Amino acid sequence: MATPLPAPSWTVTSVLERSYTLARDNFAAFFTVAVIFGAVSLVVNILSLGLLAGLVGLVCSVATSICLTWGTLQAIAGRKPEWEPMLRQLQGPMFGRLLLLGCIQYFVIAVSAIVVIGPLFLIPLWAVTIPVMMIERADIGGAFNRSMDLTAGRRLPILGAFLLWFVIFAIGAIVIITLLGHGALGSLVMWIYGALAGIVVHTLPAIFYVLLREEKEGVSPAHVVAALD
């Protein structure tokens, strides 16, 4: 029988605080990246392109996650990420594979929402797939498997962090829609609000990846991020 893991040295609250701090300290760069991709999605939605709008929105969400994951890893290493190097990840040799990985992951999680319980199982299971591929150069199958290995025994607090941010930002979105409606002003404010929420939530995969590597394998954050050099 496998020996149960001891209680983690981190808590859901400490992770939320760290994600907020990283977003705050790197606000200009993170927000610029999120707004750029959000603007593309906003324009496509305004044009009412149907299924194409959904596909573009999916790709923009994944691209945002890739760029902000890279930026978060840099920030964890004590560097100051800038928006231009983050956007240049779109030209990186692994971007196509990372994009495909993220699109598969996001799509499957979205479809799993049909049975309600699906996302609650898959989100923590696949929480660190993108940083796994980015740091360890894993293929798509390897990234999913490695994420499942790293998150084993820690999925409930991981899910808790994602859910708490979701609830907090969902309440804010409800307030905005109630006050401003779905018109032009409401859409503009929601675009900005979505970008603000994104720069916080998209830091979580990198944070959890570094914490889990340190906890389970004794690998320091500096050593983890050194693979990006």
Tens-place pLDDT, residues 13-71 = 999 999 999 999 999 999 999 999 988 887 887 777 778 888 888 999 999 999 999 99
Look at residue 152 and tell me whether its pLDDT is greater than 70: yes
Question: What 8-state DSSP symbol labels residue 196?
Answer: H
pLDDT at 32: 96
Q: Report the range of poorest mean pLDDT among 4-8, 148-152, 184-188.
A: 4-8
Give just the sign of the alpha carbon dihedral 174, 179, 181, 185. negative
Please answer whether residues 103 and 59 qualify as being in contact, where contact means their C-beta atoms are separated by less than 8 angstroms. Answer: yes
Residues listed for the chain: 229
Q: What integer pLDDT is reported at residue 45 of this predicted model?
A: 74
Say whether pLDDT at 215 is over 90.
yes
pLDDT of amino acid 1: 42
- Residue range 181-209: mean pLDDT, rounded: 91
Average model confidence (pLDDT) for the chain? 91
Residues 6+ apart with CB under 8 A from 208: 15, 127, 128, 151, 158, 161
What is the structure's pLDDT at 4? 66
pTM (two decimals): 0.93
DSSP codes of every residue in 62-98: HHHHHHHHHHHHHHHTT----HHHHHGGGGSTTHHHH
57 or 206, greater pLDDT: 206
Is the model's pLDDT at 222 over the cut of 90? no
CA-to-CA distance for 222 and 146, rounded, in angstroms? 20
- From CA 33, how far away is CA 48, in angstroms rounded? 24
